């Protein structure tokens, strides 16, 4: 087995080359949305949401940010203004835009950073 020294300053522990740190100095794995609060969870599993989502995706078959079509990439529905438990805002069709998965991830990450 090939081995190398742990990257932690002053540590001389030998570890496999596939690792960067020994067990004593390995950082815990971070999960990006681990502490996220899902305010709208009860709304997503409703027929009202599924029907509204379908209408938004049919009306706008392209990502509103990058323009990729729904045939090229799976489209998702994004709330322009996060509803944070506000049922009226959650189901407001004017607050919903079709976006591709990549753009949706970027928008969601930005909102999480801004909080």
- The residues, any chain, with a CB within 8 Å of residue 32's CB and separated by 6 or more, are 109, 112
User: Per residue in 49-97, pLDDT tens?
Assistant: 999 999 999 998 899 999 888 778 889 999 999 998 899 999 999 999 9
- Looking at the predicted structure, is the pLDDT value of residue 109 above 80? yes
| Euclidean distance between CA atoms 51 and 77, whole angstroms | 12
Mean per-residue pLDDT of the chain: 89
Query: What is the structure's pLDDT at 12?
Result: 92
Task: Using a cut of 0.75, tell me whether the model's pTM lies above it.
Answer: no
pLDDT > 90: percent of the chain: 64
- Band (33; pLDDT cuts 50, 70, 90): low
SS3 content of the chain, % helix, strand, coil (to 5): 35, 15, 50
| Euclidean distance between CA atoms 82 and 16, whole angstroms | 45
**Up-side HSE of residue 101: CA atoms within 13 Å toward CB?**
5
Query: What is the structure's pLDDT at 20?
Result: 92
| Euclidean distance between CA atoms 13 and 1, whole angstroms | 15
């Amino acid at each position: 087995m090939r081995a190398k020294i742990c990257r932690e300053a002053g540590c001389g522990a030998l570890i496999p080359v596939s690792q960067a740190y020994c067990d004593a100095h390995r950082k815990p794995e971070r999960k990006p949305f681990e502490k996220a609060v899902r305010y709208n969870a009860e709304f997503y599993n409703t027929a009202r949401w599924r029907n509204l989502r379908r209408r938004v995706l049919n009306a706008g078959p392209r990502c509103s940010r990058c323009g990729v079509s729904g045939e090229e990439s799976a489209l998702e529905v994004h709330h322009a203004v996060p509803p944070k438990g506000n049922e009226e805002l959650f189901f407001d069709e004017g607050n919903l835009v079709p976006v591709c998965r990549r753009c949706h991830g970027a928008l969601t990450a930005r909102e999480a950073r801004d909080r």
